[in-house]
Amino acid sequence: MARTQVGIVGAGPSGLLLAHLLHERGIESVVLENRTEEYVIARVRAGVLEQGVVDVFRAAGLSGRLEAEGLVHHGIELRFQGKGHRIAMSELTDGRTITIYGQNRVVEDLVAARRSAGGPLLYEVSDVSLHDLAGARPTIRYVHEGREETLECDFVAGCDGFHGVSRASIPAGVLTEYERVYPFGWLGILAQVAPSTEELVYAYHERGFALHSLRSAEVSRLYIQVPAGEEVEAWPDDQIWSELHTRLARDDGWTLREGPVLEKGIAALRSFVTEPMCFGRLFLAGDAAHIVPPTGAKGLNLAVADVTVLARALEDFYATGSDAGLDAYSDTCLRRVWQGERFSWQMTSMLHRFPEEGPFGARLQLAQLEQVVSSRAAATALSESYVGLPIL
Ligand code: RFL
Ligand code: PHB
């Protein structure tokens, strides 16, 4: 039977970053991923990194390409009723910034770091199951290259996302789950066209929310709110552009540039938290423990915060034998998680069309937007949440 100190399930941002932070601390791990490397890297997801996350990457020696190619932003635009309103986030938060850098690149950088560290990273494992989580020697069983394997660990990190096996391996009755599912999703496209904006635009429109984000000087990332359950095949490119033009329109002549669609997909919107984020020697991190709707751009940022806390707690355990950090892991993470949930819910509620809320609800949304763009206190509160709290 193979052995390691920390068995990590999932090679998304959480699992790979944890492996790197542990390696830096002299702690061994094995990372098990059920998909292929190409699939995990190609998945188009997050784009906004909080300053605290960039600081974590820098401190871990992972920020070379991120600092060379990431786009540092100082504000966002809220657009409604044909007008754009800049929220000067840096000015309102003592100079804090966000960085636009695609999750694909984050994952590529982390895979490269793992390779150069020489640590095990296995793709296309199947039939992953977790055992003896409540004891001192949990094991992970899996199949790789046709062979059944058993990995004995000191700890298991469940970094396998919302649909992974880790959370599902915890006995019934241990976890309390808090959930809200929204009656809409986001249809996202990646387009080969220079962004029509320098800063992210979050638009509220009677036809629904739209977001203009970016990836580089040549590639734009755009989203529109669509009803829950919609199939991407029902959305030809010209119809997506038409909705984007309508929802992002400004009455000062601003125009949206179109380009070839490189990728498109639909994501459901959900808020979800499990408490506690651990059971015995299994620790959940990232999307395995919590999901936020993407409107607040918090998912990846929360994942980075979780694994930073976990790596420190494990470092303490191996250095001193103390369980104190591990015992506090869940509570420490959940304080940030619930702030992320609150902010993501607030942004989602303020910016999407909720048909069941009727015209009264729509008027309240406009009143809230008016307050955010006209009150320095309200804009500061939004900015503080958007740029995020320090992690280190
Ligand atoms: P991931 O990325 O889902 O990775 C989990 C990995 O585990 C693997 N896995 C398994 N491996 C082995 N055995 C099993 N049984 C397994 N089951 C699953 C999966 O294949 C996968 O590789 O979770 P992780 O690492 O916790 O990372 C979380 C982030 O990916 C997620 O929170 C963000 O993408 C959310 N998100 C955003 N976050 C931000 O901070 N800023 C943003 O701007 C932002 N925009 C977004 C987003 C997510 C989006 N979608 C598609 C949900 C925009 C979108 C559209
Ligand atoms: C993205 O660029 O993919 C992005 C940006 C901001 C969000 C969500 C996604 O709130």
Q: Where are the beta strands (DSSP E) in 215-260?
A: 220-227
Cα–Cα distance between 335 and 41 in angstroms, integer? 30
Domain co-membership, 21 together with 155: yes
Distance 91 CA to ligand 1 centre (A): 31
* Any domain includes 80: no
Q: Amino acid letter at 202?
A: Y
Average pLDDT over residues 334-345: 98
Average pLDDT over residues 275-287: 98
Domain co-membership, 323 together with 376: no
CB 70 within 8 A of CB 101: yes
* Any domain includes 93: no
- With vertex at residue 214, the alpha carbon angle to CA 244 and CA 33, rounded to the nearest 5 degrees, is 110
Domain co-membership, 277 together with 375: no
Q: Of 193, 213, 254, 222, which Cα lies nearest the Cα of 71?
A: 213
Domain co-membership, 224 together with 105: no
pLDDT at 1: 87
* Any domain includes 7: yes
pLDDT at 320: 97
pLDDT at 44: 87
Catalytic residue list contains 202: yes
Residue 336 is part of which domain span? 2-73+99-178+270-347
**40: DSSP letter:** H
* Any domain includes 392: no
Which atom from ligand 1 is nearest to the alpha carbon of 303? 26
Domain co-membership, 254 together with 312: no
Domain co-membership, 131 together with 197: no
For residue 380, give the CATH number of its domain. 3.30.9.10
Average pLDDT over residues 28-50: 95
Q: What is the pTM of this model?
A: 0.97
Domain co-membership, 195 together with 263: yes
Catalytic residue list contains 329: no
End-to-end CA distance of the chain: 37
User: In the numeric block, which tokens belong to residue 234?
Assistant: 């029902």
pLDDT for 392 beyond 90: no
Domain co-membership, 238 together with 326: no
For residue 52, give the CATH number of its domain. 3.50.50.60
> Which of 43, 45, 181 should be mutated for ligand 1, with most atoms under 8 A from CB?
45
Residue 185's DSSP bridge partners are: 226, 268
* Any domain includes 94: no
Does residue 300 line the site of ligand 1, with CB under 6 A? yes
* Any domain includes 374: yes
- Residues having CB closer than 6 A to ligand 2 are 46-48, 200, 213, 221, 294-295, 297
Catalytic residue list contains 13: no
Domain co-membership, 49 together with 140: yes
User: What percent of the chain stands above pLDDT 70?
Assistant: 100
**Per-residue pLDDT tens over the stretch 138-161:** 999 999 999 999 999 999 999 999
CB 216 within 8 A of CB 198: no
* Any domain includes 81: no
Domain co-membership, 112 together with 201: no
Average pLDDT over residues 221-225: 98
* Any domain includes 82: no
CB 142 within 8 A of CB 160: no
Q: Of 117, 147, 132, 102, which Cα lies nearest the Cα of 31?
A: 117
Q: Whose CA is nearest to atom 6 of ligand 2?
A: 297
Domain co-membership, 260 together with 130: no
User: In the numeric block, which tokens belong to residue 226?
Assistant: 């669509």
Average pLDDT over residues 65-75: 97
Pairing of strands 290-291, 261-275: antiparallel
Domain co-membership, 231 together with 336: no
Number of domains in the chain: 2
Residue 76's DSSP bridge partners are: 87
**Per-residue pLDDT tens over the stretch 11-20:** 999 999 999 9
Distance 297 CA to ligand 2 centre (A): 6
User: In the numeric block, which tokens belong to residue 267?
Assistant: 């994501």
